[in-house]
Structure 1
Amino acid sequence: MHELLITQMSYLIRMSDEEKEWIRQRFEIKTYQKGEYFLREGQVCREAGFIVEGMVRYVLTKDNGEELTVDFNKEMEYTCNYASFLDKSPSESAIQCIEPTTIIVISYDDLQELYEHFTEGQKFGRLICEFLYVQAIKKVQSLYTGDPERRYLQFLDVYSNLVPRLPQYYISSYVGVQPPSLSRIRKRLAK
């Protein structure tokens, strides 16, 4: 499984054989059942992960107990609550596995060592952060400027291959509408 991570990282940076071996030794493989949490709300995120199999959703819980799905990650993507991970603050959201999921994880300290001691470690960190920044800006803009139908179309643009794997109520929560409203949007778009 480490080879998948090494291959994915190799798209971003060059690595020596010694650096690849370091990855095999420092990244730990963890498995989660459907419904288990990679991170619970209120915990400090102490690991960043690369999803080998499965999918996670990012969940915010409102004061009334209602859960809001704010994002998804799937195979060959990284997962982490980066704000909590970087400043060691309690996470305001949870990361829940919505399928049986295998994640290769690295601790904060080991990731800092990767950044410092890999020839292109700083580049790797910068590229990941740039990607996350662009995704966050697009999401915020969508929330402020897009109506639910437009947000659904953007969801399909980014996550169309996930639709068969996701319950409709997760999709409607992500779009910001109730499931009956999402059904109406889908019917309008099907015409």
Structure 2
Amino acid sequence: MDTTPFIEYINKYVNLTSKEETLLLSKIVFRNYLKDQYIIQQGDVCKSVNFIISGCTKTFYMDLEGQEHIVMFSIEDWWTSDLGSFITQTPADFNVQCLENTKVAQFTFDNLEKLYAEIPKLERLFRMIVERAFAASQKRIIRSFSLTAKERYLIFREAYPKIDQRVPQYMIASYLGITKEFLSKIKSQLIYDQ
């Protein structure tokens, strides 16, 4: 598997020596998932954080009525996991499912702890990743309370350019907390407004 995209991503944030790159790659599992396969299932302990090399995933919560609530999509150069479960090593609240055939670089909990000890600058990288995820989650909560569905959709399109071709409309509607019919009205109105 071509590890170049992953190493390029890491080197945007921290500069690794060739020895550190070799050590890093020795502690990572590169894995291929098929469309519809789960990387994480609700109720299981999340064993890895996953960097998307190629493909697309959705992170969602399934309620007691069987209703799916999508909280995130992850595409190339994004991370996916149930971070709370991973950090605490307790059962996951979320599922992560592949929407396309997906290639990931996985860090297990134990290997990540070893990497922090052996390459301290990686701890800084992951702190930045967690901080950004936390900030994005808080913004999403505020937007769900304060913005209209149309405004949330425009922000979604900015965050996920061209995802309309990769993700079914009903999933985008679930992410936005609206019906697919209402999403169609918003998209029609945007076309009309142009």
TM-score, normalized by the shorter chain, greater than 0.5? yes
The one-letter amino acid of 1:183's match is: S
> Which residue in the other structure is 2:5 paired with?
4
> Which residue in the other structure is 1:122 paired with?
123
> TM-score, normalised to structure 2's length?
0.94
Task: Provide the alpha-carbon RMSD of the alignment.
Answer: 1.1
Distance 2:15 2:179 in 1: 46
1:13 aligns with 2:32: no
1:179 aligns with 2:180: yes
> TM-score, normalised to structure 1's length?
0.96
Distance 1:147 1:63 in 2: 27
Distance 1:166 1:59 in 2: 14
Q: Does the 8 Å CA contact 1:50/1:103 hold for their aligned counterparts? A: yes
Distance 1:179 1:122 in 2: 41
Distance 2:169 2:40 in 1: 23
The one-letter amino acid of 2:150's match is: E
Q: How does 1:148-159 map to 2 (within 5 A)?
A: 148-159=149-160
- The secondary structure found in structure 1 opposite 2:13 is coil
Stretches of structure 2 that go unaligned for 5 or more consecutive residues are: none
In the TM superposition, what is the alpha-carbon distance from 1:143 to its structure 2 partner? Answer: 1.2
The one-letter amino acid of 1:162's match is: I
> Which residue in the other structure is 1:47 paired with?
48
> Which residue in the other structure is 1:100 paired with?
101
> Which residue in the other structure is 2:26 paired with?
25
The one-letter amino acid of 2:92's match is: S
- The secondary structure found in structure 1 opposite 2:160 is helix
1:74 aligns with 2:67: no
Q: Deviations over 1:85-107 (max 9, x none)?
A: 00011111100000000111111
Identity level (%)? 26
